Amino acid sequence: MGLPRWKNPDVLSNELMHKRYEGKRSLGVQPGDKLTAMPESTVSQLDDRLDRLSKIAGILLPLVLGLVGGLYTYEKDQSDARNLRREERRDLAQVQYGNLTALIPLLTSQDQSNRLLALEIFTSEAKKHEAPLDLVASIERLGSEHPENLKQAMDAVAAAKEQTKDEKSGKNH
């Protein structure tokens, strides 16, 4: 006798296929057609293709991951370098500000030895590219107002100009 209609896989499959492809006769599925398994050659071709895709993916996946990792590392290194340059500029500005606040009282002193000390400190800081360049005009004026400090003032101005030239050319330290 056979299986009841609701347990018979051939009947159920045919009904499902009929509903799914209703109106699509170009596929060659007709109501009542018995479904057959794929031919063995088709299965082996599919297996071969899947095997090839698996091998290609096994090669491409590490390459893509390496490329993405390399790109991330490059971008991170560039970002770190920008941050380092920004920190160095900020640190230099802080040092120059500290030098400025320390030199102003010495430069404005009525005592010649304090003015001389300020000019020597400024010259030394300019050679290290840490002199506050905002003081150059004041140092020039100091040299003209106090001829006894003219030579040291001109040395300080020359060191400041060298610092400015080095900063413009990108040479720091």
d(CA 150, CA 75): 52
Angle between helices 112-127 and 40-107 (to 10 degrees): 160
pLDDT tens for 112-127 read 999 999 999 999 999 9
Could you tell me the pLDDT band of residue 21, with boundaries at 50, 70 and 90? very low
User: What are the residue boundaries of the structural domains of the chain, listed by start?
Assistant: 40-167
Contact between 125 and 102 (Cβ < 8 Å): no
pLDDT single digits (tens) 161-173? 999 998 888 776 5
Neighbouring residues of 173: CB distance < 8 A, sequence distance ≥ 6: 128, 129
Residue range 40-75, pLDDT digits in tens? 667 788 888 999 999 999 999 999 999 999 999 999
- Distance separating alpha carbons of residues 123 and 163, to the nearest angstrom: 10
d(CA 143, CA 86): 35
Residue-level pLDDT at 39? 59
22: pLDDT strictly greater than 70: no
Q: What per-residue confidence (pLDDT) applies to 169?
A: 85
Predicted local confidence at residue 95, as pLDDT: 93
Nearest-angstrom CA–CA distance, 121 and 23: 96
Rounded to whole angstroms, the Cα distance separating 13 from 22 reads 14
40 neighbors 60 (Cβ within 8 angstroms)? no
pLDDT in tens, 73-121: 999 999 999 999 999 999 999 999 999 999 999 999 999 999 999 999 9
- pLDDT, tens only, 146-163: 999 899 999 999 999 999
